Amino acid sequence: MRNRLVTYSPEAAFHALADPTRRAVLDLLRQGIQPAGQIARAFPVSRPAISKHLRLLRRAHLVQEKREGRHRLYQLNPEPLKAVDSWLQQYRVFWQANLNSLKAFVEAEHARETGGVEGERKDTAKRSRPNE
């Protein structure tokens, strides 16, 4: 038996994930192996339509098919999602940096407006002091 190193491209996964029905099929398969008929019964579309969705998911390597007699069983293959996650990581870093900058700005503005006093504005603090 040969060991094959498989690399997954995010393009096929993105194409497969673009459809809400295919994403719902993947959500269903997170629960475990499912026969094709059971998957088809979970959706308000025809069996041929679900077969096409499963074929596309299989080509994207997001699901694996196993045949047992006349039945086709499908299971989730999360490996290609790692390529998608890796690509998305650069955007997580981008947004985290921007959100950190926004947080620092808001905190600095709040401190400037309150004079460092939590929950109280400078002008309110001055008005509430007794006359000296």
Q: Report pLDDT digits (tens) over 4-14.
A: 666 677 788 89
**Containing domain of residue 19, as a range?**
10-77
What is the pLDDT at residue 132? 47
Inside any domain, residue 31 = yes
The total number of structural domains in the chain stands at 2
What is the pLDDT at residue 97? 75
103 and 121: one domain? yes
Distance CA 12, CA 59 (A): 8
What is the pLDDT at residue 1? 47
Which residues in the chain land under pLDDT 70? 1-7, 116-132
86 and 63: one domain? no
Say if CB 39 and CB 54 are below 8 A apart. yes
Residue 76 tokens, joined: 């989730």
